[in-house]
Chain A
């Protein structure tokens, strides 16, 4: 029994499918432990610091859930940040200027985002436009509509939004008197973090437990084969872009709760943060490989670097970008090595009888 278990473990470790995810988790832990050792006295190990990684990056994480799926199909979506920004504009303009109920604004934003996602999906699927180009047009469209709504930043003035944004779950502990009190320094998670974690769980379920999710992998692995195996390739691609639209809108909602304003130029370049989080999480840019749990740790890994730099106090914040870039490079290189050594993409020489 024991032997069987250890065999299973070895199998798991050496399975190239999981190697990238394990690398991500490993590097995250390494960096975190490094931070703990060097900046432990400044409070790096405090739960607050850890919770803030989530609070400050939840909107990126939510978007990364959809992006992970798009990347697994072998596509890419450059419109996510623009769509999130557009969602923010809908909420800010709708609630504050037009006095519409925030939920109506959010629902409207979600519908628009899904529709735009499906439209881009249709361009990719049926018109065979490369995803890069199709979603680039989507990005410009969304940015354009943002500016059409308002060129200025609108700060949100709405009670319900304030309430949602202010909702927090505090980490508590028992004090000597047997009462629950907030730990010091105060650590909490908010609605955005809950959304992030729920979306990761939903994403994991979809990818691992539904036929649709498996089709996503098949399409990314070999679209031609997937078609010949009788899988609904077109429908899968459409749904993936639609789902990513939903994720972009949810990320937009999270972002507007985070900054409580809408701005047409918000989140410029944010799509690259999302993509790099997924890549650092072990999602293969050429498609077919990736896990939600990897993306989860990718987001955290990307978040912990600026945190470290803040704790250092002397380094310029640009170092964050440089290190992130290096990590992306490392992971892309690592993917290449793992893929080559596991025989994928390498169509071996055809053997033949003599």
Chain B
């Protein structure tokens, strides 16, 4: 790669209390290059970016932009230097208009007043370039996440950026929107911008990037040209283990004559999901596949009593039960990890210990508080069992990485020792290593006799783990497959409606 270098970082070191977040990391970015920054959660990607944008101060090391040494003091300073960042969460003000979000802080002035006309005109032009045709005077809140993402990129690019950092820009976009974003990235690349691209989606990494830098535990593992490395090599570099080790998972063995855990008979909530029947044995892992919005989550919510059952019956352990609210489900020893852990799962300001104890305490009721000692033991046990990466149980959960947060939620429900555990997208947004670990845990629990309902959008993990798979389409059960011997194509055919599969 003999192109002109625009940015170099040398020997970057950052010390956090108790951990070395970055340890002598080097990074180079060229003009007109998309450079992927890869690593598991906690590998130091974000820290490196924050160092570049002046959010974190480095303890050692040098940053050079176009040959001149720089020391960004805050995001504004970094922006003035030509380093723009689009963060994972959209960092715009949704009460302001689209145009204003692009120009705020650097509005063109005319006779000492803000020149609204120019702002609106230039914003519209800028977004046209990205093939976004919208009314820029409307509040940002009225537009979709994808549009908002484009707006934040427009803002980032318009400040005469030389380096553009995209931190997980695609995690909230659908595939058409991702394509649109990629077109924009190619445009910008052609204009000579250096783009740092962070994402969990390896396909996208290979589609878009020229080079990749891999970090692990705060150290630089290597820099690779995209055409000289395979996906497998890349992943094993990221996690530092051979892939075969992690994905050496076996489906939970089914015991002969295991009793029925759950029998759902034509259950439904009109308008959402209808006429769903299935049964699940004890110790069985039942996968739910289907597109987003096909009724997977809604089915789980019916079983857990989040939405009230209107048709059909549910039998638990052979007995018909009435589940009107989550508390009823908890009493029947059902547990549910919801899809959006940030919104429905974790309580960020509570410690790991408190988050784990929560569900068990709820089941016991207010009158029987758990002693501190019990809570400590409980937390200790699960931190060890699930290998939650934390110095101690008193850390606030929001300070953990996504994968570890997910493990804490898992621990919360495991602590209640449920007979049936429902996991809705438990591996979303976490990296490969943590994903494999959660899958391994699920399988172990099944071996021990727990039944698990596993909802996931990623077909390969559904196939890898499930004993049986139920495929949903448009709020209805579209098919049922055996996990053994099932391929992604089988599931996809059912999703696409090519066949109503009922394989025995």
Contact = CB atoms under 8 A, between A and B. Distances in A.
A217 B96 CA distance: 7
A276 interface: no
Contact of A215 (B79, B105, B138): B105
A348 interface: yes
Interface string A218-232: 101110111111110
Given A342-B141, A353-B178, A215 B104 contact: yes
A343 B145 CA distance: 11
Contacts of B109: 211
Interface in B289-346: 291-292, 340, 343
Contacts of A230: 74-77, 79-80, 105
Given A17-B139, A214-B104, A352-B457, A209 B114 contact: yes
A225 B152 CA distance: 11
B96 A218 contact: yes
Interface in B94-139: 94-97, 100, 104-105, 107, 109, 113-114, 135, 137-139
Contacts of A350: 145, 171-172, 340
A153 interface: no
A11 interface: yes
Contact of B95 (A11, A209, A220, A229): A220
Interface in B77-100: 77, 79-80, 85, 87, 90-97, 100
Interface residue range, chain A? 35 or more
A217 B74 CA distance: 21
Contacts of A351: 145, 172-174, 292
A354 interface: yes
From A211, A215, A218, A228, residue with most partner B Cβ within 10 Å: A228
Given A217-B93, A218-B104, A229-B104, A344 B172 contact: no
Contacts, number: 113
Given A11-B135, A231-B104, A218 B113 contact: no
B428 interface: yes
B239 to A, nearest CB: 22
Contacts of B76: 230-231
A344 B104 contact: no
A225 to B, nearest CB: 4
A16 B93 contact: no
Contacts of B175: 353
A228 B75 contact: yes
Interface string A46-79: 0000000000000000000000000000000000
Given A17-B139, A218-B105, A342-B141, 19 more contacts: A15-B139, A16-B139, A209-B114, A210-B113, A217-B96, A222-B94, A229-B104, A229-B155, A230-B74, A230-B75, A289-B95, A343-B142, A344-B95, A348-B144, A349-B340, A350-B340, A352-B174, A352-B457, A353-B201
Q: Which 4 A-B pairs have the closest CB atoms?
A: A230-B76, A221-B93, A288-B95, A221-B95
